[in-house]
Amino acid sequence: TFKHVLIQEVAYQALLKRTRQQYHNHIAQVLAAPFPEMAGTQPELLAHHCTEAGLSAQAVGNWQRAGERALQHSAHQEAVQHLTTSLALLATLPETPERAQQELDLQMALGPAVIATLGPAAPEVEQTYARARVLCQQVGETPQLFEILRGLCWYYRTRSVFHTAWELGEQLY
């Protein structure tokens, strides 16, 4: 009911952290249960409340859906933000094979978004695809390996590192 944003912020910050988390948890439960279509149409809203409530595992999936949805609408900058938030939260979860697969899926979604926003020669492109390549080796043989090698090859070719691009091209072949 506060009309000014600054008053809202002061009131919000005056709450204890535990109380804020409880409110966000309650909002996430209310949004998820009676409004299941909300997770499909506005996953970033549900992800925000899950994140603030400390529900990292649920937040990761919702941020991922938000990023993928943004990619479908060619909102690449928004997709990068959502996917990097998801990756940051995923890093707080225990290491499991499922986590590695989920991180691989996130990196694969992030690659094209980073290329679209920063260009194919940006260092972030190499970081994204290099991490995805490491995850591919951890997970085992995956169909994403071709896309990863292609992304790295494109990066090195654009940066004029032809020897490395050639080696990656041969691996692709």
pLDDT (tens digit per residue) in 104-134: 999 999 999 999 999 999 999 999 999 999 9
- Rounded Cα distance, 138 and 133, in Å: 9
- Rounded Cα distance, 156 and 161, in Å: 5
Q: Hunting for tokens 């691989």 — which residue is that? A: 104
Do the beta carbons of residue 139 and residue 113 sit within 8 Å?
no
- Rounded Cα distance, 134 and 116, in Å: 23
Residue 2 is predicted with a pLDDT of 57
Q: How would residue 64 be classed by pLDDT, with cut points 50, 70 and 90?
A: very high
Higher pLDDT, 50 or 110: 110
Using the predicted structure, report yes or no on whether residue 100 has a pLDDT greater than 60: yes
Q: Hunting for tokens 């940006």 — which residue is that? A: 122
